[in-house]
A and B are shown apart, each in its own frame.
Chain A
């Protein structure tokens, strides 16, 4: 009988990782900055992001394209090239500093302790390598399994991710599988060595709703079984609403709101989060419900505006918003952070920086364009 990787026998939580974290979070991201040096200038893609993640927890990262959510995920993994990229701050994963570490130092972590599922399973899989081999590669490298053990483990993994007749599928090439099946193979590869942290970057974008539900259920089940932490990066508030413990909303490289998932949806503080939700069509709403679109586009990150990055598109924006960037602060609930001078729900905003007077805070400030009414502007 073939031996399996120890954890694969019971399909259960991995063996030899002791609860190494004695009160230490699994992942600590502190004041992380990532910028690209482009021909047009320095493009700040991630600008001062901090959070911690405990084992077994799921963090959702939500934002539009260009908000920096994918760059954040890649920075945490240490996947960005060094040339033309500036990084500062720190990412500590299981006691290892990721920022500034060499690929050689990170290689033992990749796949084994932290791994990633990418959006596009077609371009992330090797098209000329059988999928069995793509799964056994990390098993043999990191866990030192022999050929037969690795193959048996691969079959067990394909079975766990819901691929029918896995004994035959190990010999298939990616092109012979449907999009949903390819994404399952990606997940099997990512989970092969029982990592402690999984980064899933838009794992279901472009898939059918039925397949999306299957993949998200699968991730949740495997995560439960293995007490694995997950960062779920998506543009879809629907994907994170029922499947995360905490959500970070990103805009123009900044965290603009961060809260436990129920709190975020019950009492959002940041107008951007509200606008994102209002522009999402809902099954619960009658047909022909007018959507509240967010006019305009996110700012150019090479020359961002001096104030709040969302101010040019914000319907509540006042003079102060254009002039000073609001810090990320907590309200009465210390776990609910937001970066807004005039938060929603009657909350108190942070005190304005010195030098800006109280007139900037008043509703009838100097800006001619302050319409605090929540009614959307008409559009053509």
Chain B
């Protein structure tokens, strides 16, 4: 583990497609249940993905699909009900309190509302220094130097901003302060939960550019959670699409947007608005209704109740994630791209004829 003396240095350039040096974060069969009375809400119902070194993985979906809960479960703010979250070879779900505190230094989170995530009574330099103080990484001049360097890196003038309090800053500037605080401990992974949704487009562009720069400069990996498809496409190397607690499709950004395989991905994109009058919106292509309740999700494929392609098999059999092209996986029996899913390898006891073997 690096010490406080060594300022973060550029380590990793984003590698070209197909040559990721390996997974920094591996999430396997992650489940988060919430109890509501005697009912169980499956907020996250078995999600698996990797975030590679130096990669930005986007996570999109409608509100209530479990994308924020997934982010919180990775940081262990929400303890997962089942599954594993392996960061740099260490399974965070297996750690006790002290070991988890230690490991958490490597994964930091920033939130949607930049103003309420900062203590209004503290000065900016103390907010940014808080992780340093908690871990007693530095003090005195060294602490001040680290804070100044970090504020400078996020585009704030340390001499002016350091002594002020959050209310003296705009939303975009508060988000910069949050980013500085998250990065001061040199994390490997930054979980960004809707970090630009509350900002004006002009400020949003500043923050997105800043995240891209910091990622390159510090060799960061990002899990970028947002509902805005265009924003996610802009910053992500790969994008995972989530619906009602499960992943539908994971693909490199440009592939996902040019050739979506899952019907839900296609419908999401048909709903997006583009600042282009010639891109006439087609109401028929967009999605009707709202997602069903996660308390009692549909059998088989969870999207089948809103899917234009759904048939009997979709209700009977849960589609598994399978690779239809290199780095492009989809959980759909009848994807828009690639072959139809093979019949299940495990025979359904209720089926009149046994299915073929694997």
State in angstroms the CA–CA spacing of A61 and B99 once bound together: 54
B200 touching A235, Cβ below 8 Å: yes
A290 proximity list for chain B (CB < 8 A): 209, 212
Give the docked Cα–Cα distance between A212 and B277 (Å): 17
CA distance A205 to B270 in the complex (A): 18
Whether B272 lies near A241 (C-beta < 8 A) is no
> How far does the alpha carbon of A285 sit from the alpha carbon of B205 in the complex, in Å?
14
**Interface residue? B144 (CB, 8 A):** no
Closest chain A residue to B280 by CB distance?
A: A242
B349 within 8 A of A: no
Contact, CB under 8 Å: B254 / A276:
no
Q: A217 contacts the other chain (Cβ, under 8 Å)? A: yes
Mark A185-225 against chain B: 1 for CB-CB distance below 8 A, else 0: 00000000000000000000000111111101100000000
Q: A276-B201, A283-B229 are in contact. Are A261 and B274 (CB under 8 A)?
A: no
Residue from A210, A217, A265, A277 in contact with B62 in the complex, judged by beta carbons closer than 8 Å: A210
A287 touches B283 (CB 8 A): no
Number of interface residues of A (CB under 8 A): 50
Chain B CB within 8 A of A292 CB: yes
Binding site of B, secondary structure by majority: helix, strand, loop or mixed? helix
B230 touches A213 (CB 8 A): no
Q: Is the CB of B209 within 8 A of A238?
A: no
With both beta carbons as reference points, the residue of chain A lying nearest to B197 in the complex is identified as A206
User: Are B63's CB and A265's CB within 8 A?
Assistant: no
Contacts of B212 in A (CB 8 A): 288, 290
Against B, the Cβ 8 Å flags (1 = close, 0 = not) of A232-275 are 00011111011100000000000000000110010000000001
* Given A209-B272, A210-B271, A213-B271: A283 in contact with B233 (beta carbons within 8 A): yes
Q: Output the residue of B253, B275, B280 with the most chain A CB within 10 A.
A: B275
Knowing A178-B290, A179-B63, A241-B277 are in contact, say whether A212-B234 is a contact too (CB < 8 A): no
A239 touching B209 in the complex, CB below 8 Å, given contacts A380-B153, A380-B155: no
Could you say which of A5-13, A116-124, A293-301, A322-330 contacts chain B? A293-301
| Residue A370 interfacial (CB < 8 Å) | no
> Within B196-213, which residues are at the interface with A (CB < 8 Å)?
200-206, 208-210, 212-213
Contacts of A180 on B, CB cut-off 8 Å? Answer: 290
B281 at the interface (CB under 8 A from A): yes
Q: Which residues of B contact A289 (CB under 8 A)?
A: 234
In the complex, A64 has a CB within 8 A of chain B: yes
**Chain B window 215-237, contacts with chain A (Cβ cutoff 8 Å), 1 for yes, 0 for no:** 00000000000011111011111
With an 8 A cutoff between CB atoms, is B276 at the interface? yes
The distance in angstroms between the C-alpha atoms of A284 and B278, with both chains bound, is 12
- In the docked arrangement, what's the CA distance between A174 and B283, Å? 27
Taking a contact as CB atoms closer than 8 A, the residue among B206, B230, B271, B281 that contacts A293 in the complex is B206
Give the contacting residue for A294; candidates B202, B213, B233; CB below 8 A.
Answer: B202
The answer to whether A285 touches B276, judged by C-beta atoms less than 8 angstroms apart, is no
7 extra A-B contacts, CB within 8 A, seeds A209-B62, A261-B277: A208-B63, A214-B288, A284-B276, A290-B212, A293-B202, A293-B209, A380-B153
Q: List 20 A-B contacts (CB under 8 A).
A: A64-B200, A180-B290, A209-B271, A209-B272, A211-B290, A214-B288, A238-B272, A275-B202, A279-B202, A280-B205, A281-B205, A281-B230, A282-B274, A282-B275, A287-B235, A287-B237, A290-B209, A297-B170, A379-B206, A379-B210
Across the A-B interface, give the 3 residue pairs with the lowest CB-CB distance, nearest first. A238-B273, A287-B253, A279-B205
